Amino acid sequence: MADAAAVDVSGAGKGKVVKPLPAMQVLVNGRIEAVRRYEGKVYTHVLTPAPDQYTRPQLVEVRSPKRLGEKHDEISVTCVLGGYQRKPYQV
């Protein structure tokens, strides 16, 4: 069994205790690109930073009971992974 991922939640880095996230949780950092409401839930599209200048940034959809922010706000939120497996796209 793999160890939980470690995330520095303090932002200070050096000399601070790093708290591991429980299994199936992820820290999402990025900019809000779009927000929509459906059946009482808020769906927020978050554009994450690209790892380098040659890589496309990832778009993540976060479902929450309340709005996480306005369009173009920078956010950092801990999420529980979920969703459905989709058929892979073939070229």
Residue 43 to residue 63: CA distance in whole angstroms: 5
C-alpha 64/C-alpha 37 separation (Å) is 10
* Beta carbons of 4 and 23 less than 8 angstroms apart: yes
CATH number of the structural domain 24-91: 2.40.50
Q: pLDDT tens across 18-57, in order?
A: 788 899 999 999 999 999 999 999 999 999 999 999 999 9
Residue by residue, DSSP assigns 12-41 as --TTPPPEEPPTTEEEEEEEEEEEEEETTE
Mean predicted confidence (pLDDT) in 62-70:
96
Boundaries of every domain in the chain: 24-91
3-state secondary structure of 10: coil
Q: What is the distance between the alpha carbons of residues 15 and 75, in angstroms, rounded to a whole number?
A: 25
pLDDT of amino acid 13: 53
